[in-house]
A and B are shown apart, each in its own frame.
Chain A
């Protein structure tokens, strides 16, 4: 069974940093692209980052580019999100989500498995 478990959320002050982790199990982590998606309280979903399977190629949304860094450790089956210079508008539940691959092996830019999310609150 595919499992994604996020951790590392909490309450921080504006300008501070936080590192989120996503522990994966139940599939060959090193073969899959992974993503971070967030959801502000009572709001919709916002994709913020994608990592290639090796971690050599990373995409970011403009809203976090230059402040957030995604990385992964395939030996530890883990995805990370380093968040610096946090702002009040970064307050959200942060999900890690696996990129979908079709039965034929084609990578499709959708999300087929999600973690339960971890809440990040940025407030003074």
Chain B
């Protein structure tokens, strides 16, 4: 099973700041990584697929990068609605696995 490790666990930031979240895979997943955003009481929302492609309707302030085992999600300037938990997920092999999440909270 491919283990995804996300860091940091929690980030405290102010609106307008930029942020980069990290996701590291226990073995290469090539570019088969997605990022999701989840707000309290809601289902996750797909943000990024195949490491760097924005899903439909996702604002340009969200960008993804990386390949192999190291991946990043960058939010260029935090909007109030961006405070949430972010998960990475690998779609390279079964079983599909998620990282433990990074919580982005308002400072």
Contacts and interface: CB of A to CB of B under 8 A. Distances in A.
Contacts of B87: 44-45
Interface stretch (A7-15, A22-30, A110-118): A110-118
A109 B91 contact: yes
B94 A45 contact: no
A114 to B, nearest CB: 4
Residue from A50, A59, A62, A114 with most neighbouring chain B CB atoms (10 Å): A114
B95 A111 contact: no
Contacts of B78: none
A44 B100 contact: yes
Contact of A110 (B49, B94, B97, B99): B49
A111 B98 contact: no
Contacts of B34: 100, 110-111
Interface string B1-44: 10000000000000000000000000000001010101000011
Q: Which bucket holds chain A's interface residue count?
A: 20 to 34
Contact of B44 (A50, A60, A100, A114): A114
A42 to B, nearest CB: 11
B98 to A, nearest CB: 4
Nearest to A4: B43
A110 B43 contact: no
Given A50-B96, A109-B96, A110-B49, A44 B44 contact: no
Nearest to B53: A102
B43 A116 contact: yes
A95 B41 CA distance: 12
Interface of A: 35, 44-47, 50, 59-62, 95, 100, 108-112, 114-117
- Which 8 A-B residue pairings sit nearest by Cβ, starting from the closest? A109-B91, A114-B43, A110-B34, A47-B96, A45-B98, A61-B95, A110-B49, A44-B101
26 contacts: A44-B98, A44-B100, A45-B36, A45-B87, A45-B89, A45-B98, A46-B98, A47-B98, A50-B94, A50-B96, A60-B95, A62-B95, A100-B34, A100-B46, A100-B49, A108-B32, A108-B49, A108-B91, A110-B46, A110-B49, A110-B89, A111-B44, A112-B46, A112-B55, A115-B43, A116-B43
